[in-house]
């Protein structure tokens, strides 16, 4: 179970499993879209879970530090989104410009390109971001 294995991750860094952390984790687990802090806050409000927006921010930051969550900064959204790693490997996304739906692109085509860039620029390449926007089937 996810919650149990996460509890260990928390405790091994001197942290505690709390009511609010459980609620955020459970929400991310059952939602198949990357969520922003304000969306997490609004959804939990709706579900009668008492939580402050500040606590949402602190929670996603802890989950990121533990490596349980990825932070996404999509193009010109003006806010970060978070999604659980939980099994999934490195991948990218496409977002519909009309309805905002975000779809996983389960691929990363950049290994060769990274090599090329290292040769050309003499940089040691660390990370990259790659992200698409467009019109989803329903919004075309």
Q: Is residue 71 within 8 Å of 82, Cβ to Cβ?
A: yes
Partner in contact with 126, chosen from Mn ion, a second copy, DNA, none, beta carbon below 5 to 8 Å by kind:
a second copy
Q: Does 104 bind Mn ion (CB under 5 A)?
A: yes
Q: Does 105 bind Zn ion (CB under 5 A)?
A: no
3-state secondary structure 19-83: HHHHHHHHHHHHCCCCEEHHHHHHHHHHCCCCCCHHHHHHHHHHHHHCCCEEEECCCCCCCCEEE
Distance from the Cα of residue 48 to its chain's centroid: 23
Closest CA to 36 of 89, 92, 85, 74: 74
Comparing CB distances to Mn ion, the nearer of 65 and 86 is 86
The residue from 33, 42, 58, 94 that contacts DNA (CB under 7 A) is 58
Hey, is 105 helix, strand or coil? strand
The residue from 7, 70, 96, 117 that contacts DNA (CB under 7 A) is 7
Q: Mark 30-69 with x for binding to a second copy (rule: CB under 8 A) and - for no binding.
A: ----------------------------------------
Residues 78-107 that bind a second copy (CB under 8 A): 94, 96-97, 103, 105
Q: Does 39 bind Mn ion (CB under 5 A)?
A: no
Q: Is residue 116 within 8 Å of 60, Cβ to Cβ?
A: no
Comparing CB distances to a second copy, the nearer of 50 and 135 is 135
Q: Mark 121-140 with x for binding to a second copy (rule: CB under 8 A) and - for no binding.
A: xxxxxxxxxxxxxxxxx--x
């Amino acid at each position: 179970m996810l919650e149990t294995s996460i509890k260990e991750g928390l405790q091994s860094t001197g942290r505690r499993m709390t009511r609010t952390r459980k609620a955020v984790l459970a929400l991310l687990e059952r939602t198949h879209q990357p969520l922003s802090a304000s969306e997490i806050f609004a959804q939990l409000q709706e579900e009668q879970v008492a939580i402050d927006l500040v606590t949402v921010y602190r929670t996603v930051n802890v989950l990121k530090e533990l490596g349980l969550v990825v932070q996404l900064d999509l193009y010109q959204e003006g806010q970060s989104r978070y999604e659980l790693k939980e099994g999934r490997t490195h991948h990218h996304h496409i977002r519909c410009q009309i309805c905002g739906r975000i779809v996983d692109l389960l691929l990363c085509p950049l290994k060769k390109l990274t090599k090329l860039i290292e040769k050309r620029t003499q940089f040691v390449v660390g990370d990259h971001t790659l992200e698409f926007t467009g019109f989803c089937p329903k919004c075309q």
